[in-house]
Structure 1
Amino acid sequence: MARIVFDLDGTLIDSVADIAAAANATLAEVGEAPLSVDQARSFVGAGAVVFVERMARARDLPDPAPLVPRFLHHYEGAVTQTLIYPGVEAALARLEQRGHSLGLCTNKPHLPTQAVLAHLGWADLFDTVLTGDSLPQRKPDPAPLLAAFDALGTGPSIYVGDSDVDAETAARAHVPFVLFTPGYRTTPVEDLPHTAAFDDWSEIPNVIVSLGV
């Protein structure tokens, strides 16, 4: 059976409304105009610090560093508008029933990750969880993804994600990448390296079978 590791934001959950709310609460504290949801979505993927850097650049703020703790404060409780993509829970249950090991590897920091997993009733869903501050490195460095696979034991490795960062991470880790196309990517599907792609979570069990595991 396979070791299957998933990204979180834009892959399993649509959390951009909560992320935008945390960003806009931060910007309001320093007298700046809010981001649109589309802007916030385009900034997601490389971790909280990079998100704040992009947010600050969008508002011509010269020093993003003081905004990081403000943003994290709001981000840690930003769960109420997050939605699970349709079919995710049923798909994960089917994969688990087939004997696959399931892990999570996200650039979302630990506290916001734990908050949203608890909110969704997923605190015990994954066999391992690597977050954006679990290691000194973050995706697209392959170290967190490889650590997640190592924690799951042995077996074929498959990474499921939605973004440019996820595609690069999988390529650098030399593992098959399955792309969820409705997520937060900024590059056309045909320009992202991937082994397989899907747009409906009911498809993922058959996609895994098509990879020979």
Structure 2
Amino acid sequence: MSSFGAWPLADRAAPALIFDLDGTLIDSAPAIHAVSNAVLARQGFPALDLDEVRSFVGKGVPHLVRCLLQRHGQYPDGPLYATVHDDLILRYETEVEGNAVYPGVPEALQRLAAMGCPMAVATNKPLRPALAALRHVGLEHLFGTILGGDSLPTRKPDPAMVHEAVRRLDREDVLYIGDSEVDAETALNAGLPFLLFTEGYRKTPVSELRHAAAFGDFSQLPDIVLRWTSH
């Protein structure tokens, strides 16, 4: 049974949902790839291919910058770090072309909102670039809470960001939705059920990641949320 007009279980509130961003709601790798190569070109380094840059995504900008430098034989925390980091952040906020929602995301989020599920984003991407990306793809208005990698002193998989999102959402039942090893570890650390989107940036087989449910099509998500919270 499913009902998207309202939460169908009269004796309990609809659950809150916390989403990762990159590789979960949006395929941001093409945009990150373009920005990264523009930053590298400015330093005289050759471009990297999309798959390689995609493999650097998920642990925040400091990790991305260190990977870009290390790939070109530079000390990851050396004198170029600050220059590359600041240039990348500046471009991140304005060069948003290449960010695209995964199929079915807007419709699924609208259905979940209609069911009464309050929703948040908790991403390791810095907050202002995250807001710019969400605005670019037309999703920003669906989230009452958006936390970025610079919103708190720590990043995922440390659970502090997710705990803060839970506090703001103020619901007893909360599910965490993500696509990667970092997300699986974050959910575990935060003590939340993990719903795994299988079409993102994951490197580990689905069977080897701890999860409560997995889905490869966002049209499946509303029914998964309903089933998970109704038993």
TM-score (norm 1): 0.97
CA contact (8 A) 2:106 2:139 kept: no
1:17 aligns with one of 30, 41, 61 = 30
Matches within 5 A, 1:137-156: 137-156=154-173
SS of structure 1 residue aligned to 2:140 = coil
SS of structure 2 residue aligned to 1:124 = helix
Q: CA deviation at 1:44?
A: 0.4
Q: CA deviation at 1:154?
A: 1.8
Of stretches 58-67 and 156-165 in structure 1, the one that deviates more from structure 2 is: 58-67
Q: CA deviation at 1:191?
A: 1.2
Matches within 5 A, 1:1-213: 1-62=14-75, 63=78, 64-213=81-230
Higher gyration radius (CA): 2
Q: Distance in 2 between matches of 1:49 and 1:104?
A: 20
CA contact (8 A) 2:113 2:142 kept: no
Q: Distance in 2 between matches of 1:125 and 1:143?
A: 22
Q: Distance in 1 between matches of 2:64 and 2:204?
A: 18
Amino acid at match of 1:17: P
CA contact (8 A) 2:126 2:148 kept: yes
SS of structure 1 residue aligned to 2:18 = strand
Amino acid at match of 1:54: C
Q: CA deviation at 1:153?
A: 0.8
CA contact (8 A) 1:13 1:82 kept: yes
- Contiguous gaps of at least 5 residues in structure 2: 1-13
CA contact (8 A) 1:19 1:78 kept: no
CA contact (8 A) 1:196 1:207 kept: yes
Q: Distance in 1 between matches of 2:99 and 2:15?
A: 28
SS of structure 2 residue aligned to 1:96 = helix
Question: Could you give the per-residue CA deviations for residues 85-111 of structure 1, whole angstroms, max 9, x where no partner exists?
Answer: 110011011111111111110111011
CA contact (8 A) 1:78 1:112 kept: no
Of stretches 60-69 and 90-99 in structure 1, the one that deviates more from structure 2 is: 60-69
Q: Distance in 2 between matches of 1:124 and 1:202?
A: 20
CA contact (8 A) 2:179 2:202 kept: yes
**Number of matched residues?**
213
CA contact (8 A) 2:15 2:229 kept: no
- Contiguous gaps of at least 5 residues in structure 1: none
Amino acid at match of 2:125: K
Q: CA deviation at 1:210?
A: 2.0
Amino acid at match of 1:135: L
TM-score (norm 2): 0.89
Of stretches 49-58 and 117-126 in structure 1, the one that deviates more from structure 2 is: 117-126
Q: Distance in 1 between matches of 2:208 and 2:82?
A: 33
Q: Distance in 1 between matches of 2:93 and 2:161?
A: 21
Q: CA deviation at 1:208?
A: 0.8
Partner residue, 2:9: none
